[in-house]
């Protein structure tokens, strides 16, 4: 393995992608659900993480006194239409760009 390939491998192991981070955060909430099917727990977890991110952004907007951004609004509508990890990552991307995600 070349040195560059080794460094890239090390980087991937220590710096997970945003998708990996969102997946892990959703999985953390999925594990806490009991008495329901896996699909129901996953849907509930997606909703929980969405509400968490919504709260973060609302707090940010209050403090920064900024208006909602159309790109985020579009991502939120996409998530509401089709609740999936992919659509949740689109919202997370927006928040992560603003350094709002601690996870």
- Number of independent structural domains in the chain: 1
- 33 domain-assigned: yes
- 77 domain-assigned: yes
Give the range of the structural domain holding residue 77, as residue numbers without chain letter: 18-97
Predicted pLDDT of residue 33: 60
- 12 domain-assigned: no
Q: Full-prediction pTM beyond 0.95?
A: no
- As a whole number of angstroms, the distance between CA 49 and CA 79 comes to 12
Q: What pLDDT tens digit does each residue of the chain (103 aa) get?
A: 455 554 554 544 678 999 999 999 999 988 766 667 888 999 999 999 999 999 999 999 999 998 888 999 999 999 999 999 999 999 999 999 999 999 8
Predicted pLDDT of residue 68: 84
- 37 domain-assigned: yes
Task: Name all contacts of 12-18 with Cβ < 8 Å and 24+ positions apart.
Answer: 18/89, 18/92, 18/93, 18/96
- 42 domain-assigned: yes
- 30 domain-assigned: yes
- 41 domain-assigned: yes
């Amino acid at each position: 393995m070349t040195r560059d390939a080794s460094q890239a491998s090390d980087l991937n192991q220590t710096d997970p992608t945003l998708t990996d981070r969102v997946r892990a955060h959703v999985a953390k909430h999925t594990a806490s659900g009991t008495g329901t099917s896996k699909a129901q727990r996953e849907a509930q977890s997606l909703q929980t993480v969405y509400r968490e991110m919504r709260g973060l952004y609302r707090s940010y907007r209050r403090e920064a006194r900024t208006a909602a951004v159309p790109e985020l609004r579009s991502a939120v509508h996409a998530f509401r239409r089709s609740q999936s990890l992919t659509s949740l990552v689109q919202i997370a991307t927006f928040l992560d760009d603003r350094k709002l995600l601690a996870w």
